[in-house]
Amino acid sequence: MQLGRIGIWQRRQDVNAEAAREIEALGYSALWLGSNPSVTDARPFLERTSTLVVATSILNIWHHEPADVAAQHAELASAFPDRFLLGIGVGHPEAISTYEKPLAKMRAFFDGLDAVEQPVPRDQRLAAALGPKMLDLAAERSLGAIPYFVTPEHTRFARERMGGGALLAPEVAVVVEPDPETARAKARKYAALYLGATNYVRNLERLGFSERDIADGGSDALIDAVIPHGSPEAIAEAVEAQFDAGADHVCLQPVGHDHPPLDDYRSLAGTLVG
């Protein structure tokens, strides 16, 4: 599978087949479907493109049975060889009423994907992971990890934790906006959900951010570290910092503009793709 260096992360509700074709034409190598997609949500994008890798980012394992997911994966893998990646994860506690023992739940889901007649191959699945134990599990049972809402420092930690053999594909939200205050306002609107989620807050604290950094929409230092902003050239430098820290692929998510933000895709392609 040719995953390439730069893909686009977009909520599944906010992207359509026409946008996917343009993403492919601009040279991005993958489309990461967010907001709890199912396997079947990927099919229209695979049907309407020719080379784009399409991935779930992430399929929430509390909402699906592994046997059903494996069967749906087998259909897509047969119809679109080497173009679909199954990204799975536990989400965050505030969104799941039955959230408990997430590591055990993830391990059991991997077991289920392996136990069926047509198992999901290890190199065709990825896991959302932030903390050390989930990163270990991602490296052990899948192609690698797709961390979300992270800094280059987390990427460096994840690479050291997982070793060189695992794929590391962090999501990086960005705001294409030259004015810092305008950009930070847009970034804070996007960040509000995650700064109220236990797992993301815990991860930020592990990275050295304080309660004061996390409070009131996030300090400038936190916002700038997690959500790079500025010109396409400035954003390209921030993305390169992820590669310097050990990323193999970056799932780029432009925020703060229209859905899908086609102008952002176009302006960023000039500095990031090629």
Q: What is the pLDDT of residues 29-79, one digit of tens each?
A: 999 999 999 999 999 999 999 999 999 999 999 999 999 999 999 999 999
Domain that includes residue 192, residue range: 6-272
Looking at residue 139, its amino acid is A
- Residue 118 within a domain: yes
Rama region for 230: left / alpha / beta (φ>0; ψ in -120 to 50; rest): left
Q: What is the pTM of this model?
A: 0.97
DSSP 127: E
Residue 274 has pLDDT above 80, yes or no: no
CATH of the domain at 80: 3.20.20.30
- Residue 165 within a domain: yes
CB 259 within 8 A of CB 14: yes
- Residue 77 within a domain: yes
User: What integer pLDDT is reported at residue 97 of this predicted model?
Assistant: 66
- Residue 232 within a domain: yes
- Residue 1 within a domain: no
CB 126 within 8 A of CB 167: yes
As for how many domains the chain has, the answer is 1
Q: What is the mean pLDDT of residues 1-29?
A: 96
With vertex at residue 149, the alpha carbon angle to CA 126 and CA 177, rounded to the nearest 5 degrees, is 125
- Residue 14 within a domain: yes
Local confidence band at 95 (pLDDT 50, 70, 90 cut-offs) = confident
- Residue 240 within a domain: yes
